[in-house]
């Protein structure tokens, strides 16, 4: 079961994109599903390892999206951080490597009988050319695909 999370506090225009979900599954289940990345993001377009610090993986969606991530931090049942080490978003006109150097941060917090998962794409700010389209994409990935995988064990891919 998924619940709408309470609204996030107001943020300045330059703050990084976030998406938050609350689920009835405990942190160990959320953590395990989060680490099984190819089931909720990338599918067959994902190559590499995604579970341990130092692992690297790529996501290539045709000619539109390429990104290479390195797992930087893994705190069981609590936090995962990926660093984007390379990127190419071919649909951008200015800086096709806007994601390079950004981080994707997943924070898991138990809140009574619920678990909150907060995703932050640190560095994906409103000043980036890709912000609107990437924010829309991440919202779908986190609030639909990942949420369904966590709550229903229903992989998107």
Helix or strand or coil: residue 107? strand
Domain membership flag for residue 9: no
Which pLDDT belongs to residue 8? 46
Domain membership flag for residue 13: no
Helix or strand or coil: residue 48? strand
Q: What is the tally of structural domains in the chain?
A: 1
Which pLDDT belongs to residue 157? 83
CATH number of the domain encompassing residue 99: 3.30.530.20
> Residue 119 belongs to what domain range?
19-152
Where does residue 102 rank: exposed (0-12), middle (13-18), buried (19+ CB within 10 A)?
buried
Domain membership flag for residue 69: yes
Distance from C-alpha of 157 to C-alpha of 153, rounded to nearest angstrom: 12
The CA-CA-CA angle for residues 101, 103, 109, to 5°, reads: 170
Query: Per this entry, what is the length of the chain?
Result: 157
Domain membership flag for residue 135: yes
Domain membership flag for residue 52: yes
Domain membership flag for residue 8: no
Alpha-carbon 115 to chain mean position: 16
Which pLDDT belongs to residue 2? 45
Give 10-residue mean pLDDT values along the chain (157 residues): 46 75 97 96 94 96 95 98 97 96 98 97 96 96 97 90
Domain membership flag for residue 3: no
Kindly give, in sequence order, each residue whose CB lies less than 8 Å from that of residue 100, ignoring residues fewer than 6 positions away. Answer: 84, 85, 86, 87
Distance from C-alpha of 13 to C-alpha of 141, rounded to nearest angstrom: 22
Beta strand 17-23 with 46-48 is: unpaired
Task: Say what the alpha-carbon torsion angle 13, 15, 19, 24 is, to the nearest 10 degrees.
Answer: -120
Domain membership flag for residue 46: yes
């Amino acid at each position: 079961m998924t619940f709408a999370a309470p609204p996030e506090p107001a943020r300045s225009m330059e703050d990084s994109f976030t998406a938050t979900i609350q689920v009835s599954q405990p942190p160990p289940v959320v953590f395990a599903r989060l680490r099984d990345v190819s089931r909720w993001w990338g599918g067959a377009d994902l190559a590499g390892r995604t579970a341990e610090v130092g692992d690297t993986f790529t996501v290539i969606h045709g000619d539109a999206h390429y990104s290479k991530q390195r797992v930087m931090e893994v705190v069981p049942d609590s936090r995962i951080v990926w660093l984007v080490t390379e990127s190419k978003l071919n649909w951008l006109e200015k800086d096709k490597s806007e994601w390079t150097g950004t981080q994707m941060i997943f924070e898991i917090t138990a809140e009574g009988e619920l678990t909150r998962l907060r995703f932050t794409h640190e560095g994906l700010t409103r000043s980036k050319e890709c912000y609107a389209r990437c924010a829309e994409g991440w919202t779908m990935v986190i609030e639909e695909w990942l949420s369904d995988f966590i709550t229903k064990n229903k992989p998107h891919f």
